[in-house]
Amino acid sequence: MTVWGMFSLVALCLGGAAWLLLKSASALTERAAGGTRTARRRLMSQDSLMEWLVERLTAAGLPASPAVVALSGGCLLVLAMLLLSRLGAVWGPAMVLVMVLAANALIRFRAARLRRRARRQLGPFLGHITRGLGAGQGLETAFEQAIKRSRPPLSDALSRVKLRRQLGQELDEGLAREGQILRLDELRLLATAIRINQSHGGSLSEMLDAFASALHQREQSGRELAAMTGETRVSAWVLGLSPLALTLFIHFTQPEFLAPMLESAGGRQALMLAVALQLGGGWLLWRMLKSV
């Protein structure tokens, strides 16, 4: 690819990012101006690539807005084009792939850590709601008071639920939506419990007490399981990192050993196959870790 071709591709990608930004901004303006209940509900739905990216960043606790997404995407595209032009046809795509996978892994790691912290904070939050209901407060009043007593990241997620409620969405729908964004099943279960209570009645305090007790037991069981499978996790990390560490060691200590592979077409193809197998094996090991 020529230099002009690369710059044309960068310009095209930046134009697409700007178009997504303008489309998202215009959609938000139209919905805010509509003022109807249907429009407000659509405001909180996932109906564009921009909103999907914003939600991914939100779930990871990163600054999330259409402008931030468009600017970050443009910078990453420029960096990718520079890598392709500087490193050539073999290492350029490999480094771009590594960059994309690293960014995705970072977002996933932050989202998982935030999700674990929010899950640990749900028990005390439910306790605050239960005490508020026992003191004679309504559900929404107890919910707002419990938000004030909560800490990030759970308080940030619940504040977004409160904002959706002010825009006209039902409380259970807002909780379910936030649970979908954060991939936090506990929030969706809480939304289901509130929906059942509002539809069929019953004691919400007892239901929330049972829910909090189940969360506590689940957290305790998770800690015990993590302690039991610690050796398996360490073995998976060793198996996954050993080929990469060995390759880097050979490259820096005896670069002439890998020179024939890098200089021949067959060697480069074998190297790309090895990278693909390494990534596939890492993915399989990750799935094994997730299963335990």
* DSSP letter string, 114-139: HHHHHHHHHHHHHHHHHHHHHTT--H
211 and 275: one domain? no
Of the residues 62, 93, 124, the one at which a domain ends: 93
Range list of H helices, 150-254: 154-166, 171-182, 185-200, 204-228, 230-253
Structural domain of residue 175, as residue ranges? 114-228
As given in the structure block, the two tokens for residue 60 are 């990871």
Residue 108 falls within a domain, yes or no? Answer: no
89 and 162: one domain? no
Per-residue pLDDT tens, the chain, 292 aa: give them.
554 455 455 555 555 555 555 454 445 444 433 444 443 444 444 446 778 888 888 888 887 777 777 787 778 788 878 877 777 766 777 777 888 888 888 888 999 999 989 988 998 899 899 999 888 888 889 999 999 998 989 999 999 999 999 999 899 999 999 999 898 988 998 999 889 888 887 788 888 888 888 888 888 887 887 777 777 778 877 877 888 888 888 888 888 887 888 788 888 888 888 888 888 887 887 777 666 5
Residue 74 falls within a domain, yes or no? Answer: yes
73 and 12: one domain? yes
127 and 75: one domain? no
143 and 76: one domain? no
HSE toward the beta carbon, residue 189, CA cutoff 13 A:
13
Residue 150 falls within a domain, yes or no? Answer: yes
Residue 102 falls within a domain, yes or no? Answer: no
Of the residues 182, 205, 228, the one at which a domain ends: 228
- For the chain, what is the domain count? 3
Q: Which amino acid is at 245?
A: A
